[in-house]
Amino acid sequence: MSAPTSFLHNVLNPHSVAIIGASENTQKFGGRVMNFILQHGFKGRILPVNPAAGSILGIPAYASIEDAPGPIDVALIAVPGMQLEAAVEACGKARITACVVLAADFAEAGLDGANRQANLVRIALQHGVRLIGPNCLGFINPALRLALTSSVALAVAPMPIGNIGLVSQSGSLMAALISHAQDLGTGFSIAASVGNQADLEICDFIEYFLTDPATHAICVYVEGLKDGPRFLQLAARCRAAGKPLLVVKAGFSEAGARITRSHTASLAGSDAAWTAACHEHAVVLLDDPEALIQCADFLIRFGAPAGDGVAAMSPSGGTVAITADRLAASGLRLADLSENTQRELHQIVPATRPVNPLDVGGLARDVGLTSARDCYRLLADDPDTGVVLIVVATTPQLDAKVRLWAELAVARGKPTVILLTPGALVDSARGILRELHCPFTNRMDDALRVVKAAINYGAALRLLPTTASIPDNFGEVAAYCAPASALTESETKQLLSLAGITVTRDLQVHAAANAVAAARALGYPVVLKLSSRTLTHKSEVGGVALDLRTDDAVAMAWQRIATRLTAVEPASVLECVIQPMITGGIELIVGSRWDQQFGALVLVGAGGIWAETLRDTQCALAPLSSQRALELVRKLRIFPVLAGARGQAGADLDALIDTIVRVSWLAATLGARLAELDINPLLVKPPGQGVVALDARATLYPRS
Amino acid sequence: MSAPTSFLHNVLNPHSVAIIGASENTQKFGGRVMNFILQHGFKGRILPVNPAAGSILGIPAYASIEDAPGPIDVALIAVPGMQLEAAVEACGKARITACVVLAADFAEAGLDGANRQANLVRIALQHGVRLIGPNCLGFINPALRLALTSSVALAVAPMPIGNIGLVSQSGSLMAALISHAQDLGTGFSIAASVGNQADLEICDFIEYFLTDPATHAICVYVEGLKDGPRFLQLAARCRAAGKPLLVVKAGFSEAGARITRSHTASLAGSDAAWTAACHEHAVVLLDDPEALIQCADFLIRFGAPAGDGVAAMSPSGGTVAITADRLAASGLRLADLSENTQRELHQIVPATRPVNPLDVGGLARDVGLTSARDCYRLLADDPDTGVVLIVVATTPQLDAKVRLWAELAVARGKPTVILLTPGALVDSARGILRELHCPFTNRMDDALRVVKAAINYGAALRLLPTTASIPDNFGEVAAYCAPASALTESETKQLLSLAGITVTRDLQVHAAANAVAAARALGYPVVLKLSSRTLTHKSEVGGVALDLRTDDAVAMAWQRIATRLTAVEPASVLECVIQPMITGGIELIVGSRWDQQFGALVLVGAGGIWAETLRDTQCALAPLSSQRALELVRKLRIFPVLAGARGQAGADLDALIDTIVRVSWLAATLGARLAELDINPLLVKPPGQGVVALDARATLYPRS
């Protein structure tokens, strides 16, 4: 399905464009498109197609596409659904390489629509035509003054030219971003909407942007990927090429996922998988579309910050206090300014003022600009400053100060986020920043998003690639053969043992008497657990008895579990396992999931009774190096407990890391067969004492 | 210190205003003030005072305030610091009731400044003058066209008239909010800045706003309160009067608190105390100043929502998907629309589309407005809809639809948040909303803040007042007499016992042999703990030995603790306590703190090794009713574990609630004497089995 780059280059940078269903009536798609294409002044050939022929808005029109003189690089089809197939076929005969299809009511509208879409793609392929859409709003190429879209965003001229390549599954969202780019003084190499991605898809555009010299950063709004592995390969190429790739992904919530299905027939995929994949490949994952433009513009202008220290300043004391609070609440780190920087700053501002964030208000007017300049320089040049945040509030000589700060930032290339807190009152400062092509934001939320995204991007770029190598004593897990896909606890533990993971010594028992004998063999205290292929959440059905210390206790527990089983599954015959009762350690969950888009994922988190409640979990693509596994563990909120906070023993991190790596290889080796695996709890004992899988379950499909 | 309301009414609604230090030079404070007061057209008497007399900007000026004809309601003093005291004295002699003091360099600038400030207040009181400031920017009264401020925000005319009363410790922040009010089409009854609050303070203004019929909502930017209890009384009156009180409080972070000290000499106070106090009194606590205006405007227009269900719609499918995700991430609940509403909506939009959030895009143009109206009505009228969120994206007939939605919302009074996602492209829609006085936002972050603030405000109003009554068997805790303020574990437990809280049976021991005897008396297993007035964090110094099961183990543990004590405090003689080792339950922390501004606070959270790591804590003002205590516990992230999630036993909630109430009465009874108390861990056993305080410490000052 991958389109060669040169091919898409011709489509997005056409010499000639046909509008099929062209019209003069701006109430119609074909009318809006004709209007915009003329209004913005496209210099290539424009070929309106309309059965009535004649001319449209002064341009000679053709009754059919076959009548129009070739070669034609791209056609936009603005005819109703029932005429679409014929139009695509005609484009093929006219040797047009690609068509933009605006019409909706395809795969997003249910099964019939999906069939219509499949049929349209089949016809297009038969006739050698590639499709953008359907259910899209076309694209713009501002440098060529080409507005090949029906979006009302193009009612405002001129189109914003710049170095952002945008591809969006939503046309309306593309329109909002075009409007914001105009307001912020930035713009696009190409902004394209791809709707249902029936043929050409987001990855084709990312691939084009990778090779396009005018594109310096790539922004994506995606509801679902057609090809996850291809996306990851392209992300790695973007990273290598130094082109930031920024993504807003919709559908992480349950309600959101329902909507992506009904909007562009996209399957949303999991939040955890996306977060893990993006982190691994330095993709900037954002929650807000406008932030795409703000962050891309910032990274194009300043590149990635060298460190995570933030130095902030404002001429308003109240704003400085709020900035300090908001930075702290966002988890950002204030730069720890050197003594030298502090001393020099205190020659400009009163010694009673803290230096970071810095209140630069109320200084003598006659040295106002000098002070503003010197304060910026001192903050920006401190070795611990990765990003400068300037929070502009009303102050004497505001415009002059903003100009000075922006010029310094741009000249020095120091990552500097400028936030303008007043409204239209300071629009003249906004004009100055647009003119200087210096990025700015208007809300603290946005400023913090940009600071955070830039710092995280820098950190991700500095993450050295690691090589995950298969652990010692990693057995033939691929050969493990389970009698059914829902593995019992014992079967799962056999699989874990093959992978070199320590499990409890479990004895399978079929009667109360066996259980007592087994308990004596293991030595008290013991645990008695229901063994079932169907009831995998054993605690929920009362199938677990902990800390049994006598024969009687074992026999009574057997009876209790038997009664519970009869209540839940009257036909089942009770089987149990007996295990030694092991305490003294911290309970984690370590597991894996197969993700449809990105493949094997490994996860680690707080386990036992805390697993569901705290949702303190980290994920990564499998397999993992030890170094990446440690990074995951360090990101857990409960890490201080593992590390031994406040005089506690802490946990055997080496053994934990080894287990995570082994689980990751299990997941990577078994691939799609291993739908999910949970070791919960994995008891992590104090340093030097290892780990042990107390309970585990898995879903493993047979080899096909 | 409280000013009578009528007094502040005359100051804020003056008939005559003196500008001391008036000038024509707009580089000077006195020049900017003169300019603004004339530019905005104040109709009262304006009395410029300047030693050169003559006239200023065409207005007759006076050499001194004593020369100016009275009565004068308010004077703005714009002279340098060294002339201030004389100016205030002169105002007193001229029988001026209040002065606005712009000059800075007072208490915010260290000890000398604090002395200058105290002196200024003394002189003012001596001469019967009240002060606003110093270190402020004055105030505006838009209805009187009075701009008594040097803030450059007033360069833009007209001043925004409206029903928001604003009082801010930061003048520059007031300026930003004036600008935003202009942009959003809302405005102020009064906007005042109070700087250091040397005399008149935030509470004086809240009290004025309470009685001012033109003020329908009160917004506060505060760095520190002068009188916490007065603030709480006023908050209760605001609630009773139906005037929402909205607060941004700076200085919650460590860096933020340093800045509030240096900015307005304010002590920030604790986040927990503010959150608890605001929740109890239905005060809307926000993290962002602009949100003050947005939320106040919304509450003035629509009042508090009746429920917490959110119904959202947008004409952009991508935007609908993102809205669903953002609502979920914000913890907001989608309204569960009735079957009837769903059926009627599906007669307008295709049946494949989810109904909430609702995609209203791509519908037939000829019924576009009818569909837009009907969809809004159906969502707004559903019984589960508390708030409607309309996310506007580019769509045909956008202005007409926005007008229609706003008119419907305003006419029906249904709380409706309108978010305009494109930029200047849709400024005409913004104009329509301003004209209709219908609140709107421009960023999803802001829309969600407004939705959340409004819903939480409604919920807080519905919180029925409860009466906290002293628990049974609550002893004479006030009479408890400790030998020093840092209580040992045993002393703290004695105090807890007096309050009726179950503690472990502890035996005090002074030698290894005693320890063994005590352990035998209690029965194994036992715990041996260092007993120290100075080393209260016992685990951190290795002063705790758990689960000792033999005489030998006790003797060895004694020796280990003795060795550790010698290492840390060579001069100390070892004392320990022996306790029974109790397991089986969930470890919480329950405690209290004395807050300088708001008094006694009670707290509950995850305890033991999780306390520091999870920071899962809830606070409330003491004393508490059982009902409020249960509300606190329900808000803990770990509540599902306490309630018995996934087949776990759960915890004795009744006993936990009883303990929280008892601790709250301990705190309320002992008042400022009890600086802090921590029961950590409080072991909460399974239902019916009670709780027991395993460890505890307190700081209790002697009765004065």
Residues from chain A that touch B445, judged by Cβ atoms under 8 A, are 288, 443, 445-446
**A693 part of a folded domain:** yes
pLDDT band for position A80 (50/70/90)?
confident
In angstroms and rounded to an integer, the radius of gyration of the C-alpha atoms of chain B is 31
Compare A372 and A7 and report the one with higher pLDDT: A372
**Statement: residue A5 has pLDDT above 70:** no
Give the torsion through C-alpha atoms of B246, B252, B255, B256, to 10 deg.
Answer: 20
Compare B504 and B512 and report the one with higher pLDDT: B504
Helix, strand, or coil here: A503?
Answer: strand
Q: Say how far apart CA A278 and CA A280 lie, in whole Å.
A: 5
Tens-digit pLDDT profile for residues B303-348: 999 999 999 999 999 999 999 999 999 999 999 999 999 999 999 9
- Please give the tally of structural domains in chain B: 4
User: So what's the pLDDT on residue A3?
Assistant: 44
Residue with tokens 């090794």: B609
C-alpha B229: how far from chain center:
14
Same domain, B283 and B340: no
B583 in Cβ contact with B526 (< 8 Å): no
How far apart are the CA of B174 and the nearest CA of chain A, in angstroms? 10
User: So what's the pLDDT on residue A249?
Assistant: 95
* Mean pLDDT for all residues in chain A: 92
A 151-170 → B contacts, CB under 8 A: 151-153, 155-156, 168-170
A 425-444 → B contacts, CB under 8 A: 425-426, 443-444
Same domain, B34 and B118: yes
Give the torsion through C-alpha atoms of B166, B172, B173, B179, to 10 deg.
Answer: 80
**Statement: residue A625 has pLDDT above 50:** yes
Rounded alpha-carbon distances, angstroms, from residue B567 to A537, B363, B542? 49, 79, 11
Per the CB < 8 Å rule, is A359 touching B259? yes
Per the CB < 8 Å rule, is B262 touching A354? yes
- In sequence order, the β-bridge partners of residue A245 are A218
Q: Which of B256, B324, B443 sits opposite A443 (nearest CB)?
A: B443
Instruction: Count chain A–chain B contacts defined by CB atoms under 8 A.
Output: 335
**B566 part of a folded domain:** yes
Same domain, A632 and A673: yes
How far apart are the CA of B392 and the nearest CA of chain A, in angstroms? 10
Residues from chain A that touch B315, judged by Cβ atoms under 8 A, are 172
Is residue A700 within a helix (H) or strand (E), and if so which, with residue range? strand A696-700
**B454 part of a folded domain:** no
Mark B281-302 as b/e (b = at least 16 C-beta within 10 Å).
bbbbbbbbbbbbbbbbbbbbbb
Q: Which of B102, B184, B259 to mutate to test the interface with A (most CBs of A within 10 A)?
A: B259
Q: Say how far apart CA A255 and CA A262 lie, in whole Å.
A: 11
Residues from chain A that touch B176, judged by Cβ atoms under 8 A, are 316, 319, 393-394, 421-423, 425
Tens-digit pLDDT profile for residues A31-73: 999 999 999 999 999 999 999 878 999 999 999 999 999 899 9
For helices A171-184 and A289-302, give the axis angle rounded to 10 degrees.
40
Residues from chain A that touch B649, judged by Cβ atoms under 8 A, are none
Same domain, A688 and A591: yes
- Average pLDDT, stretch B125-139? 95
User: So what's the pLDDT on residue B254?
Assistant: 87
**B193 part of a folded domain:** yes
Q: Which of B172, B313, B349 to mutate to test the interface with A (most CBs of A within 10 A)?
A: B172
B617 in Cβ contact with B589 (< 8 Å): yes
Structural domain harbouring B555: 505-580
Q: What percent of chain B has pLDDT over 70?
A: 98
User: Residues 6 or more apart from B204 whose CB is under 8 A from it?
Assistant: B2, B3, B8
User: So what's the pLDDT on residue B110?
Assistant: 86
The domain boundary residue, chosen from B299, B320, B350: B299
Which of left, alpha, beta for B344 (phi over 0: left; psi -120 to 50: alpha)? alpha
The three state secondary structure string of A127-187 is CCCEEECCCCCCEEEHHHCEEECCCHHHHCCCCCEEEEEEEECCHHHHHHHHHHHHHHCCC
Is residue A120 within a helix (H) or strand (E), and if so which, with residue range? helix A111-126
Residues from chain A that touch B172, judged by Cβ atoms under 8 A, are 315-319, 361, 393-395
Rounded alpha-carbon distances, angstroms, from residue B168 to A325, B138, B173, B177, B292? 17, 10, 7, 10, 11
User: Residues 6 or more apart from B138 whose CB is under 8 A from it?
Assistant: B33, B76, B100, B102, B132, B148, B149, B150, B151, B171, B192, B193
Residues from chain A that touch B359, judged by Cβ atoms under 8 A, are 259, 262-263
Q: Which of A173, A427, A684 to mutate to test the interface with B (most CBs of B within 10 A)?
A: A173
**A460 part of a folded domain:** no
Q: Say how far apart CA A691 and CA B154 lie, in whole Å.
A: 68
Per the CB < 8 Å rule, is B182 touching A287? no
User: Residues 6 or more apart from B704 whose CB is under 8 A from it?
Assistant: none
User: So what's the pLDDT on residue A613?
Assistant: 72
Tens-digit pLDDT profile for residues B670-694: 999 999 999 999 999 999 999 999 9
Residues from chain A that touch B395, judged by Cβ atoms under 8 A, are 152, 172
User: So what's the pLDDT on residue B647?
Assistant: 63
Residue A367, both tokens: 């040295």
Tens-digit pLDDT profile for residues A378-409: 999 999 999 999 999 999 899 999 999 999 99
- How many CA atoms lie within 13 Å of B448's alpha carbon, on the beta-carbon side? 19
Same domain, B89 and B229: yes
Residues from chain A that touch B318, judged by Cβ atoms under 8 A, are 168-170, 172-173, 221, 223, 250, 263, 289
Rounded alpha-carbon distances, angstroms, from residue A51 to A17, A56, A63? 17, 12, 4
Lowest pLDDT segment from A325-329, A617-621, B265-269: B265-269
User: So what's the pLDDT on residue B292?
Assistant: 98
The domain boundary residue, chosen from A562, A580, A598: A580
Residue B592, both tokens: 């209290």
Length reported for chain B: 704
User: So what's the pLDDT on residue B2?
Assistant: 43
What angle (nearest 5°) sits at the alpha carbon of residue B173, between those of residues B170 and B175? 115
* Mean pLDDT for all residues in chain B: 92
Q: Say how far apart CA B529 and CA B539 lie, in whole Å.
A: 9
Per the CB < 8 Å rule, is B319 touching A422? no
A 207-266 → B contacts, CB under 8 A: 221, 223, 248, 250-256, 258-260, 262-264
* CATH code of residue A661: 3.30.470.20
Lowest pLDDT segment from A441-455, B227-241, B520-534: B520-534
pLDDT band for position B467 (50/70/90)?
confident
| Torsional sign, CA B319, B324, B328, B332 | positive
Q: Say how far apart CA B522 and CA B576 lie, in whole Å.
A: 15
- Among the listed residues B541, B577, B534, the one whose alpha carbon sits nearest the alpha carbon of residue B560: B541
Helix, strand, or coil here: A407?
Answer: helix
How far apart are the CA of A69 and the nearest CA of chain B, in angstroms? 34
Same domain, B534 and B633: no
Query: Looking at beta carbons, which pairs linking B81-84 to residues 24 or more positions away fall under 8 Å?
Result: B81/B105, B81/B116, B83/B21, B84/B120, B84/B134
The amino acid occupying position A416 is: T
**Statement: residue B4 has pLDDT above 70:** no
User: So what's the pLDDT on residue B192?
Assistant: 98
Lowest pLDDT segment from A178-192, A338-352, B343-357, B481-495: B481-495
Q: Which of A156, A169, A398 sits opposite B318 (nearest CB)?
A: A169
Lowest pLDDT segment from A514-523, A553-562, A609-618: A609-618
**A475 part of a folded domain:** no
Task: Please state the φ and ψ torsions of residue A139, each to the nearest 5 degrees.
Answer: -145, 165
Same domain, A161 and A12: yes
**Statement: residue A190 has pLDDT above 70:** yes
User: So what's the pLDDT on residue A4?
Assistant: 45
User: Residues 6 or more apart from B291 whose CB is under 8 A from it?
Assistant: B248, B446, B449, B450, B453
B 643-672 → A contacts, CB under 8 A: 645-648
**Statement: residue A646 has pLDDT above 70:** no
Q: Which of A172, A398, A426 sits opposite B361 (nearest CB)?
A: A172
A 612-631 → B contacts, CB under 8 A: 612-614
Compare A441 and A2 and report the one with higher pLDDT: A441
- Among the listed residues A421, A416, A426, the one whose alpha carbon sits nearest the alpha carbon of residue A443: A421
User: So what's the pLDDT on residue B571?
Assistant: 85
Q: Which residue of B has its CA nearest to A355?
A: B259
C-alpha A173: how far from chain center:
17
Q: Which of B287, B394, B445 sits opposite A329 (nearest CB)?
A: B287
Residue A675, both tokens: 């739908």
**Statement: residue B46 has pLDDT above 80:** yes
Q: Say how far apart CA B192 and CA B168 lie, in whole Å.
A: 6
User: So what's the pLDDT on residue A498?
Assistant: 95
pLDDT band for position B519 (50/70/90)?
very high
Is the minimum CB–CB distance between A695 and chain B shorter than 8 Å? no
- Average pLDDT, stretch B350-379? 92
**A620 part of a folded domain:** yes
How far apart are the CA of B222 and the nearest CA of chain A, in angstroms? 9
Q: Which of B28, B173, B356 to mutate to test the interface with A (most CBs of A within 10 A)?
A: B173
A482 in Cβ contact with A491 (< 8 Å): yes
User: So what's the pLDDT on residue B157?
Assistant: 83
Rounded alpha-carbon distances, angstroms, from residue A214 to A128, A142, A202, A217, A268? 29, 11, 18, 9, 31
User: So what's the pLDDT on residue A1?
Assistant: 39
Same domain, A276 and A381: no
How far apart are the CA of B376 and the nearest CA of chain A, in angstroms? 19
User: So what's the pLDDT on residue B1?
Assistant: 39
Residue A660, both tokens: 């995570």
Residues from chain B that touch A248, judged by Cβ atoms under 8 A, are 322
**A244 part of a folded domain:** yes
Q: Say how far apart CA B106 and CA B108 lie, in whole Å.
A: 5
Per the CB < 8 Å rule, is A425 touching B248? no
Q: Which of A169, A178, A220, A262 to mutate to test the interface with B (most CBs of B within 10 A)?
A: A262
Same domain, A94 and A113: yes
Tens-digit pLDDT profile for residues B575-614: 999 999 998 889 999 999 999 889 999 999 988 767 777 7
Residue A562: Cβ within 10 Å count: 17
pLDDT band for position B616 (50/70/90)?
confident
Q: Which of B29, B248, B444, B609 to mutate to test the interface with A (most CBs of A within 10 A)?
A: B609
Q: Which residue of A has its CA nearest to B291?
A: A443
Q: Which of A251, A424, A647 sits opposite B321 (nearest CB)?
A: A251
**Statement: residue A602 has pLDDT above 70:** yes
Same domain, A576 and A657: no
Same domain, B422 and B346: yes
Rounded alpha-carbon distances, angstroms, from residue A453 to A295, A420, A631, B447? 7, 19, 19, 22
C-alpha B470: how far from chain center:
28
- Average pLDDT, stretch A339-365? 93
Tens-digit pLDDT profile for residues A205-217: 999 999 999 999 9
User: So what's the pLDDT on residue A268?
Assistant: 58
Q: Which of A153, A318, A350 sits opposite B425 (nearest CB)?
A: A153
* CATH code of residue A323: 3.40.50.261
Same domain, A166 and A121: yes
B 35-74 → A contacts, CB under 8 A: none
Tens-digit pLDDT profile for residues B164-212: 999 999 999 999 999 999 999 999 999 999 999 999 999 999 999 999 9
The domain boundary residue, chosen from B277, B299, B321: B299
**Statement: residue B649 has pLDDT above 80:** no
